[in-house]
């Protein structure tokens, strides 16, 4: 494992528009007793998160993004079975999303989900469900999402773009960000772990919340008192504040702390179900067994 000095977590958003109150960024550094928010009170844009990562994060930072870094592949042997242009791996998928959405501002992805071939695989608003979305209305899942379910979480398909629990739009917008990262930022497990340097991983904040003593069905925290209890369970102090806190900020703070406490656990970097093929196509959620 690289000698990380800083740990950051980004609660991400795929909502339309430029700025999003659903984005929160937290970090904990060497010697810090508690995680802290980056630019507290700021309403982030996705482009600003990218700029912050590239220009401001210390060299040996582990950065977790709450999104799906890829789409299901293993279940059908392709991201988009039946489409001749279906990409062979995750990095080619990111490049495809970026190319189709190149004229769309704010890392938007409307052009991709409305593409005549891609749209057959997505559930979109207005009752528009593609004929290849998936059996029983649930949608397809990656291998890592089955592992999440085995750990007590309730993952949703990245092909689902409808409902409060959907993560599909944020995941696709995240793919545009991942495509734009400089080559010296590794994205695990699509890239092997480097000896040192910045590494981006996919996170699922519910996994961190469970480790902090929360139930999967009640993982969201909206008060500093509850935040203090969760961080104490992970062995950390609470940043200054009282009263209410957004669940996005709480998710980022808890997950940054969780990354620092769990990144040294070497078995989390070698999950039993993650083959080389899965790593290159579907990626993995750090912390999923």
pLDDT, position 253: 98
pLDDT (tens digit per residue) in 49-60: 999 999 999 999
Reported in sequence order, the residue ranges of the chain that DSSP labels E, i.e. its strands, are 6-11, 19-20, 24-28, 36-37, 44-45, 61-65, 123-124, 128-129, 186-187, 199-202
Tokens representing 204 are: 């699922």
Q: Answer with the residue of higher pLDDT: 134 or 117.
A: 117
- Confidence (pLDDT) at 43: 98
Question: Which residues make Cβ contacts (< 8 Å) with residue 214, sequence separation at least 6?
Answer: 221, 230
The answer on pLDDT for 165 being more than 80 is no
Is residue 47, in this structure, part of any structural domain at all?
yes
Q: What value does the mean pLDDT take over residues 138-164?
A: 91
> What is the rounded average pLDDT of the residues 127-149?
88
List pLDDT tens digits, range 66-105.
Answer: 999 999 999 999 999 999 999 999 999 999 999 999 999 9
Q: Is residue 254 part of a domain?
A: yes
Q: How far apart are CA 169 and CA 189, in angstroms?
A: 21
Per-residue pLDDT, 18: 97
Predicted pLDDT of residue 164: 75
Is 90:190 a contact under the CB 8 Å cutoff? yes
Percent of the residues in the chain that have a pLDDT greater than 70, as a whole number: 99
Mean per-residue pLDDT over the chain, rounded: 95
User: Domains in the chain: how many in total?
Assistant: 1
Residue (of 39, 45, 41, 52) closest to 19 by Cα position: 45
Is residue 138 over pLDDT 80?
Answer: no
- Residue numbers of the domain that contains 257: 6-13+24-67+181-269
When pLDDT is cut at 50, 70 and 90, the band that residue 135 belongs to is: low
Q: Answer yes or no: is 198 within a domain.
A: yes
Q: What is the pLDDT of residue 63?
A: 98
* 208 pLDDT higher than 90: yes
Q: Per residue in 187-199, pLDDT tens?
A: 999 999 999 999 9
Average pLDDT for 194-220: 93
The reply to whether 82 falls in a domain is: no
Band the pLDDT of 263: cuts 50, 70, 90. Answer: very high
Stretch (H or E) spanning 226: helix 224-234
Residue 44 pairs in a beta bridge with 20
What pLDDT is stored for residue 280 in this prediction? 98
Q: Among all chains, which residue has been given the structure tokens 């207005």? A: 126
Instruction: Examine residue 103 and state whether it is found in any structural domain, yes or no.
Output: no
* pLDDT at residue 218, rounded to an integer: 80
Is the pLDDT at 163 greater than 90, yes or no? no
Confidence check: pLDDT of 120 > 70:
yes
> Does 137 have pLDDT greater than 80?
no
Q: What is the pLDDT of residue 126?
A: 86
| Residue 1 within any structural domain of the chain | no
At 136, is the pLDDT very low, low, confident or very high (cuts 50, 70, 90)?
low
Ramachandran assignment for 124, one of left (phi > 0), alpha (psi -120 to 50 degrees), beta (any other): beta
Q: How confident is the model at residue 7 (pLDDT cuts 50, 70, 90)?
A: very high
> What's the pTM value of the predicted model, to 2 decimals?
0.96
């Amino acid at each position: 494992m690289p000698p990380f000095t800083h740990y950051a977590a980004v609660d991400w958003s795929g909502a339309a528009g430029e700025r999003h109150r659903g984005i929160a960024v937290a970090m904990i550094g060497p010697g810090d007793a508690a995680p802290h928010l980056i630019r507290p009170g700021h309403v982030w844009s996705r482009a600003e998160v990218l700029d912050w990562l590239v220009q401001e994060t210390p060299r040996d930072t582990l950065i977790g993004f709450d999104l799906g870094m890829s789409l299901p592949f293993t279940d059908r042997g392709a991201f988009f079975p039946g489409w001749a242009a279906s990409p062979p791996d995750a990095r080619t998928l990111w490049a495809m999303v970026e190319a189709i959405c190149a004229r769309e501002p704010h890392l938007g992805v409307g052009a991709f989900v409305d593409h005549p071939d891609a749209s057959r695989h997505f559930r979109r608003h207005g009752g528009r469900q593609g004929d290849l979305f998936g059996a029983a209305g649930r949608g397809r899942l990656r291998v890592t999402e089955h592992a999440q379910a085995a750990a007590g979480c309730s993952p949703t398909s990245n092909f689902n773009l409808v409902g409060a629990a959907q993560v599909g739009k944020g995941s696709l917008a995240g793919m545009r960000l991942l495509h734009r990262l400089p080559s010296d930022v590794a994205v695990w497990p699509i890239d092997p772990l480097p000896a040192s340097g910045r590494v981006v991983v996919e996170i699922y904040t519910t996994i961190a919340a469970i480790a902090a003593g929360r139930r999967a069905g009640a993982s969201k925290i909206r008060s500093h008192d509850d935040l203090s209890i969760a961080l104490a369970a992970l062995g950390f102090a609470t940043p200054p504040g009282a009263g209410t806190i957004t669940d996005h900020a709480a998710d980022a703070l808890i997950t940054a702390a969780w990354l620092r406490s769990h990144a040294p656990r070497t078995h989390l970097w070698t999950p039993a179900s993650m083959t080389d093929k899965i790593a290159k196509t579907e990626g993995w959620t750090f912390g999923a067994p």
